[in-house]
Structure 1
C-alpha cells in the first residue's frame, strides 16, 4: 500500500511556519542551502516516518521543483524513497531520476488543454504591484510561484483572478507567503494514480495542508490534514463533505500526529486483513 504526503507545512517546517509548541532539542534539520538550515522536522516525526517507510511505500508529493526537493537531505540520506512526485505532479522521480516520458506527457496536456503561460502571467500582472508582490518564478517551465506580502495582498482581486483563470484551465492556491498559479493538468492526483498503476499498490493514506493537496487526499482511503493551512481554513468556513481527519495540533508537531495516525490506520488495516483471511 502507498502512503503519500505533502512536505512543506505537512511533514517539514521552516522557522516561520513551525509554530512555538516545541522544544529546540526535539527538532532535526531537514533541508539546507549554502550551509544554512531552511527547514526542520520533529525528531519523533522522523522516527515514525522511517518506521512507516518499512511497512508501506512512502511517496513524497510536493509542489517544489526538482532542485528544491533535492535540498531536503533528510529524505535523500535517511528515508530514500523509491519514488517522489515534484513540481505539483509535473515531474516524477524514480530513484532520484526524472521520468522524462511522464514529463513529456504532462507538457503535451498543458499545451492542448490550458491557456498559455504568457497569457496567465499577463492576467496576474493586471492586479500585481510591488506593494505586495515580492518575487516571481516560473517553476520547471510549468507553473508560477509568486512571493507575496500576505497582509497587503488584495484578496478580492486575487479571488476574481482565480475565477478567471479557472476558466482557462489554471488553478490558484495561496500558501503562506506564496501564490501558485498551476495548470489544472499538473496535479498530484494524476501522478499518484500513475504510480498506483505502475506498482499495483493502492493509495491508502494521504496527507497535506493546501488546496493543491485536496485532489490527492480525495483518492486516498484515509486523508489526514494538519490543523493549519488552506484546507483547514476552508473547512472552518464551510465544513467539507469529505471525511478528512484534522490533527489536534498545529505547526511542526502536527507532523507527529499525522504520522502517528497513519501508523494506527496502517496497523488497523493489516489487522482487519489478517482477520478477514482467517475467516476465509
Structure 2
C-alpha cells in the first residue's frame, strides 16, 4: 500500500532554540541561524528517521514558510535526500523538484480570481493593523503572492472578529498562530495542495503531522496523524480520534513524531 506522509516543519519536526524544550535528546543538526541563534534545528535521530521515511514513502514537507524560507533550511544538504514535492505558503505554492509547479500556480490564480486580489487583501489587513496601538504590530508581509502575515501583540477577540468578517466577504480567511495573524484565500490550505500531490503519486494512505491551526485541515484529511503535546492546536483543546499526541515536547517531540510516522508507514 503506497503511503504519502505530509508534515509541517517548524515546531513539529524542527525547532528553534527557544522551542527546543527542556531536554535536548542527543546531537542536533542546525538548519538555520539568525544573528547566531538557531532558529531551526532537529536531532540527528530525527534526521535519520526522516531519511528512512523518505525511502519508504512519499514524504512531503508542508509548511507555512515561503519558498525562500523553505529553501534556506537546506533539507537536502542536511539529510542527504531531497523530497521531490514540498508545499509552501500554507498551500499557496507547490514545489516539484525544487521549482514552483505551473499547473498548481494556475489553480491558485483561478482561486484568487474569485475574491479580492492579494493587493486588496493586504490593504485591508494594513488598515485593520492601523487601528491597533502603535508598536503592537509589524507590517504586513506577502509570502509568495498568496499568503499574508503580520505579527500582532495581543490584538483581542474584537479586532480579530472584525478582520475575519471583512475578509470573509472578500473571499479570504484568517488564521492565527501565536503572535502571527495569517490571511489566506478561502478554500486554500495545506490539505488542498497535499491532496493534489496524493492524486499525482496515487497514494492509498495519507499520514500527517502538524502543530498549529494552519495544520488542522491537513490532520483532519489524513487517515492517521500526530500532533505535539506543546503545539498550539493541543493547547487550544483541538483533538481528533485518529490524531495521536506526543508524550514529549520540543526536539523530543520531533523525534517521537518522526518515529511514529515511520512505524505507521510500515503498517499495511
TM-score computed with the length of structure 2 as normaliser? 0.88
Report the Cα offset of residue 82 of structure 1: 0.7
Q: Which residue of 2 aligns with 1:259?
A: 258
| Aligned-CA RMSD value | 2.3
Runs of 4+ in 1 over 6 A off after TM superposition: 33-36
- Which structure shows the higher helix fraction? 1
Q: How does 1:1-280 map to 2 (within 5 A)?
A: 1-22=3-24, 25-32=26-33, 37-78=38-79, 79-114=81-116, 116-118=120-122, 120-122=124-126, 124-125=128-129, 127-149=131-153, 152-235=154-237, 240-267=239-266, 269-270=267-268
Q: Deviation digits for residues 70-110 of structure 1, max 9, x if unmatched?
A: 00113455230011111111111111111122112202211
Give the whole-Å Cα distance in 2 for the aligned partners of 1:176 and 1:252: 19
TM-score computed with the length of structure 1 as normaliser? 0.84
Give the whole-Å Cα distance in 1 for the aligned partners of 2:240 and 2:116: 29
Q: Deviation digits for residues 237-266 of structure 1, max 9, x if unmatched?
A: xx5454321111121211111111112212
Structure 2 gap segments, 5+ residues each: none
- Which stretch shows the higher mean deviation, 118-127 or 54-63? 118-127
Give the whole-Å Cα distance in 2 for the aligned partners of 1:119 and 1:203: 41
CA contact (8 A) 2:30 2:38 kept: yes
Give the whole-Å Cα distance in 1 for the aligned partners of 2:220 and 2:257: 16
CA contact (8 A) 2:21 2:251 kept: yes
Report the Cα offset of residue 185 of structure 1: 2.9
> Which protein, 1 or 2, shows the higher relative CO under an 8 Å CA cutoff with sep ≥ 6?
2
CA contact (8 A) 1:114 1:168 kept: yes
Q: Deviation digits for residues 35-89 of structure 1, max 9, x if unmatched?
A: 7643111221111111111111100001111111000113455230011111111
Give the whole-Å Cα distance in 2 for the aligned partners of 1:194 and 1:76: 26
Seen in structure 2, the aligned counterparts of structure 1 residues 127 and 225 have a Cα distance that, compared at 3 Å, is farther
Seen in structure 2, the aligned counterparts of structure 1 residues 160 and 243 have a Cα distance that, compared at 3 Å, is farther
Q: Deviation digits for residues 127-175 of structure 1, max 9, x if unmatched?
A: 43333213431111112111233xx433442244335434443232222
CA contact (8 A) 2:115 2:172 kept: no
Give the whole-Å Cα distance in 2 for the aligned partners of 1:158 and 1:127: 12
User: How many residues are paired up?
Assistant: 263
CA contact (8 A) 1:31 1:74 kept: no
CA contact (8 A) 2:4 2:207 kept: yes
